[in-house]
Amino acid sequence: MLNSQVDEIKSKLSVEEVISGYLQIQKAGRNFKAKCPFHNEKTPSFIISPERQTWHCFGCNEGGDIFTFIMKIEGLEFYDALKLLAQRAGVQIKDHNLANESKKKKIFEIVEISRKFYQECLKIKNGKVALGYLQDRGISESMIENFQLGYAPDSWDLLSKFLKSKGYNEIEIAATGMTVKKDRGGYYDRFRNRIMFPINNIGGQTIGFSSRVMPGADESSAKYINTPETLIYNKSRVLYGLDKAKSEIRQKDICIMVEGNMDVIASFQAKVENVVATSGTALTEEQIKIIKRYTKNIAFSFDMDSAGIKAANRGIEMALSEDMNVSVIRIPEGKDPADCVKNNPELWEKTVQSPKLVMEFYFESIFAKYDSDSVDGKRKIATELLNIIGNISNDIDRGFYRNMLSDKLGLDERIIFEYESKIKREKSGFTNRNSTDNVQGVKTLTREDKLQERILGFVVLYPQYFQNLFLDLDSFLLNNKINKIYNLIKDAYQKEGKLNDGILTEIKKEISLQENIENQQESLSYIWNVAALGVEEKIDEISDVSKEAKTCVINLKKIKLKKELKELEMKMKDEASDENVERFDKLHKDLNNLDIE
């Protein structure tokens, strides 16, 4: 049932249509190209194949179908991506009875009921103190309603009792993070005497809460506490307010990052709606990548004290390494956006329209800290700024700011360059962030991997060469999955006495029927598609297909033979037996024969 629904969705939504909603794609022959959203790259290596309804990045080796793309780009699980695409395609999901999905559905239900419970509690006598605080901060009734703010009563079990009255048991409630298990058994409500801020996923469903202790109450247990990780809430993937801000971020082509929930709400009240926050947690690389789906421009607004700057530094560093255009908003009135909006909403609206480029901000603030005329001051300024400049992924930008530092310090550019190299060497665990091979999450392939993949591409695209070029490669294709596909094709060839496109289509269809639709990148169908796509992308550069294919086969055989020779040489140091010598001579002969071919 599920396979048929997936096929129905794919028949109604083309891969290029889905991906073009997130990326700028360009026609490239029979395919489309784009810059990969999952790693930094200067030239497009992200290929979309309408014919195969797949995508693959030859830079980071990520890929799959429309479901895999939505899972990665939206940070969703398979069934959430299935629901989202089914809605776009107008397909009704009928088969939804998996245990994990049932648990998630129940968590969503309980969290939603809890949200409504907290909203109602804001209206009761004790809740009016919380309401008064929000109003004192300048938050209007419409914003309180829009962001569904609430109040958690000062009780150990009031929410628990209410949820149990709705038919949920203690285990189900605890799975939502709304309660905490006692050491001696039983549970108590996690949130007590707190102002509640619902946290929503990108689709607007409440998945958890951030909460602020009531003003004047004991803050020793933490001023803010959030829902713990659950099946539906992953704090590193969620940004407060993004469900409401995403369209405005796209339209204005900039995302304003603020520190807290109140800042987001106040900003919306001042008609500045391209604003998000992290709900009191440190900004993560995943969150930066999520923002990058909507815009390459990010402006950080934070307290101008040292703690505020320090808190923003890591986020700025990550944004720079993601090749984003980073700027800083300096608040002229009040210590945070919420205070600024309360005192002068027009001022906040005006301020966000003229953010300062982050490097200009750093140059100003760091030069103000030290005496740039003294040797010690020059060294400290250079150290701090070069550490920041080193995070910039764009070569031109990095060179520009290195030159600016050289000019402002009155030092030769070579001295700055050498000092930067020294700083890098001294950094423990230093890695070149600008190297694709070292970027976190990028999967690198060895030359042997690439050759095996390329040979498979030739096999599935040019079956007419199978007998002459590809007949006995079993022992050379060491990638288990590529070898499995190859052997299925070889078996079919031996059975039919020939190989053509029709036979290959039947083999691939049979493979697809047996595979797990949720794990695309592990599937044989996907490996088949990527291999074919890799050859197709380079086909214009190939003057003679059979010659190119033969070269790949020879090079792969050479790699394996050289490996065997090296292993045998090591073995012969301990045991130079007649058998080993004979084997050594044969390998050398085989290798020499390959050079002659």
> Span 395-421, mean pLDDT?
87
In a domain, 154, yes or no: yes
Same domain, 542 and 478: yes
> 46-49: which pairs have CB atoms within 8 A and are 24 or more residues apart?
47/533, 47/537, 48/15, 48/16, 48/19, 49/15, 49/529, 49/533, 49/536
The helix (H) or strand (E) run that includes residue 90 is: none
| Residues 186 and 247 reside in one and the same domain | no
Q: Are residues 123 and 228 in the same domain?
A: yes
In a domain, 61, yes or no: yes
Residues in the chain: 597
Mean pLDDT, range 91-101, rounded to an integer: 64
pLDDT at 248: 92
pLDDT > 60? residue 596? no
Specify which of 189-198, 316-325, 556-565 reaches the highest per-range mean pLDDT.
Answer: 189-198
Average of pLDDT values for 377-399?
87
One domain, residues 178 and 143: yes
Of 438, 466, 483, which residue constitutes the final position of a domain?
438
Q: Which of 233, 250, 277 is the last residue of a domain?
A: 233
Q: What is the residue-averaged pLDDT of the chain?
A: 85
434 pLDDT more than 60 = no
- CATH number of the domain bearing residue 218: 3.90.980.10
Name the burial class of residue 356, with classes exposed (0-12), middle (13-18) and buried (19+) by CB atoms within 10 angstroms of its CB: middle
Same domain, 226 and 255: no
The verdict on 255 and 201 lying in the same domain is no
Q: Is 363 within the bounds of a domain?
A: no
Structural domain span for residue 106: 99-233
For position 307, what pLDDT does the model report? Answer: 58
pLDDT band at 49 (very low <50, low <70, confident <90, very high): very high
* CATH value at residue 7: 3.90.580.10
| Cα diameter, the chain | 95
pLDDT band of residue 21 (cuts 50, 70, 90) is confident
Residue 279 scores a pLDDT above 90: no
Higher pLDDT: 175 or 585? It is 175
Find the mean pLDDT for residues 533-556: 85
Q: Does pLDDT of 572 surpass 90?
A: no
**What is the mean pLDDT of the segment spanning 375-396?**
88
Does the residue 94 lie in any domain? no
Name the nearest CA neighbour of 515 among 67, 69, 209, 210: 67
CATH number of 517's domain: 1.10.860
**pLDDT tier, 441 (very low <50, low <70, confident <90, very high otherwise):** very low
Token pair, residue 476, equals: 């050379």
514 phi and psi angles, rounded to 5 deg: -100, 0
Classified as helix, coil or strand, 458 is helix
Interior CA angle at 511 toward 505 and 515, to 5°?
A: 145
**Residues 572, 480: one domain?**
yes
CB 260 within 8 A of CB 199: no
Query: Per-residue pLDDT for 99 more than 70?
Result: no
Whether residues 383 and 272 share a domain: the answer is no
Predicted confidence at residue 313, as pLDDT, reads: 80
Same domain, 418 and 348: no
User: What does the alpha-carbon distance between residue 572 and residue 562 come to, in Å, rounded to a whole number?
Assistant: 15
* Phi (first) and psi of residue 339, to 5 degrees: -65, -40
Decide: 257 and 315 in contact? Cβ < 8 Å: yes
Pair (457, 564) in one structural domain? yes
Split at pLDDT 50, 70, 90, the class of 580 is: low
What band does 446 get if pLDDT is binned at 50, 70 and 90? confident
Kindly state whether residues 413 and 495 are assigned to the same domain: no
154-165 average pLDDT score: 95
Q: What angle do CA 218, 240, 197 make, to 5 degrees?
A: 40
* Total Cβ atoms within 10 A of residue 409: 19
Q: Are 230 and 208 spatial neighbours (Cβ–Cβ below 8 Å)?
A: yes
Cα distances (Å, whole numbers) of residue 470 to 315, 491, 496, 527, 531: 51, 13, 16, 18, 15
364 assigned to some structural domain? no
Question: Going by DSSP bridges, is the β-strand pair 356-357/325-329 parallel, antiparallel, or unpaired?
Answer: antiparallel
CATH number at residue 350: 3.40.1360.10
- Number of independent structural domains in the chain: 5
Q: Is 572 domain-assigned? A: yes
pLDDT for residue 440: 41
Q: Are residues 467 and 583 in the same domain?
A: yes
Q: Is residue 408 part of a domain?
A: yes
Q: Is residue 359 part of a domain?
A: no
Q: Are 201 and 234 in contact (CB under 8 A)?
A: no
How far are the Cα atoms of 56, 239, 437 from residue 59, in angstroms, in the given order? 9, 28, 9
The mean pLDDT value for 383-410 works out to 88
Return all residues near 124 (Cβ < 8 A) that are at least 6 apart.
Answer: 151, 153
- What pLDDT score does 169 carry? 94
Identity of the residue numbered 566: K
Give the pLDDT band (50/70/90) at residue 512. confident
- Residue 235 gets the label, from left (phi > 0), alpha (psi -120 to 50) or beta, of alpha
Pick the last residue of a domain from 171, 202, 233. 233
